[in-house]
Amino acid sequence: MARLELESYRRAVHEVAQALAPGWERHRARIEEAVTPVRDLMLTELAPRPGDTVLELAAGAGDTGFEAAAIVGETGRLISTDFSSAMVEVARRRGTALGLGNVDYRVMDAEHIELEADSVDGVLCRFGYMLMPDPAVALAETRRVLRAGRRLTLSVWGAPEGNPWVTILARMLVERGHVPPPTPGDPDAFCMASQDRTRALLEGAGFATVRMVEVPVRFVYRDVDDFMTVATDTAGPLAMVIRGLSESERQAITRQLGKAFAGFAADGGYRLPGLSLNAVAS
């Protein structure tokens, strides 16, 4: 992508985050429930210590970092950041509800981290880097602010085949002419799904040690209407597309999804699998 296109992509991602922040806040608990295995692994691998300063990038509603805040305690600090001011306010409300007093909330683009070099003891970024126009720049910035020997733990979405919770809808919207097919190489939810690419990005940013593991997750829905409600409120650019559909097209897609989800029926609803790729780098 040319630089100009990257900038318009950045603006589009920012606009979507601003628009979806209320939906992310509304569905926060069920999103967290689905991706708990990812959050748990990230915290275990980060291994923060009391007194540490931890930075969370693209924090959204902030729960991954808030677990670190509880561990680093009164003598430590979490810097919870996102480039969407609306998301930062969601995180601030959540951190306040949790009674956390050691969190700085900051609007910050991960490609321009406004912190001194070697100033943090750990970095978390869950489902963020793959949405950034230039993940290489964001990872180099991450390396710059991270103290030697300390860790970055990140997660991105793994292969599309492992993520029917979003790919079934995405494919349907392409087939029905509402979105263009993805262009290989452009940033999107799966552009860091390849372990080779993610490793190369991390090594290119100066991380000497990189380990990766895939973590399965499950999204649970009562029925197709429940899925459509959550997708309309939270599913990134797809949410914006669904919001613009006519009522009859929305109903047609809901019916088609009912058939496509049949293989995932469980407990009177649906359990849709997802697969995340997690990396630990230092």
Round to whole Å and give the CA distance between 131 and 143: 18
User: In the complex, what is the shortest distance from the CB of residue 83 to ligand SAM, in angstroms, rounded to a whole number?
Assistant: 4
Q: Is residue 82 close enough to count as binding ligand SAM by CB under 6 A?
A: yes
User: In the complex, what is the shortest distance from the CB of residue 249 to ligand SAM, in angstroms, rounded to a whole number?
Assistant: 25
Q: Is residue 253 close enough to count as binding ligand SAM by CB under 6 A?
A: no
Residue 43 vs 87, nearer CB to ligand SAM: 87
Q: Which of 127, 190, 261, 270 binds ligand SAM (CB under 6 A)?
A: 127
Q: Is residue 152 close enough to count as binding ligand SAM by CB under 6 A?
A: no
Q: Which of 9, 13, 54, 121 binds ligand SAM (CB under 6 A)?
A: 13
Round to whole Å and give the CA distance between 214 and 159: 10
Q: Is residue 188 close enough to count as binding ligand SAM by CB under 6 A?
A: no
Q: Is residue 132 close enough to count as binding ligand SAM by CB under 6 A?
A: yes
User: In the complex, what is the shortest distance from the CB of residue 60 to ligand SAM, in angstroms, rounded to a whole number?
Assistant: 2
Interface stretch with ligand SAM, choices 52-60, 190-198, 218-226, 269-277 (CB under 6 A): 52-60
User: In the complex, what is the shortest distance from the CB of residue 84 to ligand SAM, in angstroms, rounded to a whole number?
Assistant: 4
Q: Is residue 154 close enough to count as binding ligand SAM by CB under 6 A?
A: no
Residue 89 vs 223, nearer CB to ligand SAM: 89
- In the complex, which residue's CB is closest to ligand SAM? 60
User: In the complex, what is the shortest distance from the CB of residue 229 to ligand SAM, in angstroms, rounded to a whole number?
Assistant: 18
Q: Is residue 156 close enough to count as binding ligand SAM by CB under 6 A?
A: no
Q: Is residue 191 close enough to count as binding ligand SAM by CB under 6 A?
A: no
Q: Is residue 59 close enough to count as binding ligand SAM by CB under 6 A?
A: yes
Give a three-class secondary structure readout of the chain: CCHHHHHHHHHHHHHHHHHHHHHHHHCHHHHHHHCHHHHHHHHHHHCCCCCCEEEECCCCCCHHHHHHHHHHCCCCEEEEEECCHHHHHHHHHHHHHCCCCCEEEEECCCCCCCCCCCCEEEEEEECCHHHCCCHHHHHHHHHHHEEEEEEEEEEEECCHHHCHHHHHHHHHHHHCCCCCCCCCCCCCCCCCCCHHHHHHHHHHCCCCCEEEEEEEEEEEECCHHHHHHHHHHHCHHHHHHHHCCCHHHHHHHHHHHHHHCHHHEECCEEEEEEEEEEEEEC
Q: Interaction with ligand SAM in 105-124: which residues (CB under 6 A)?
A: 109-111
Q: Is residue 278 close enough to count as binding ligand SAM by CB under 6 A?
A: no
Burial of residue 78 (number of CB atoms within 10 Å: 0-12, 13-18, 19+): buried
Burial of residue 8 (number of CB atoms within 10 Å: 0-12, 13-18, 19+): exposed
Binding site for ligand SAM (CB under 6 A): 13, 17, 57-61, 82-84, 87, 109-111, 126-128, 131-132
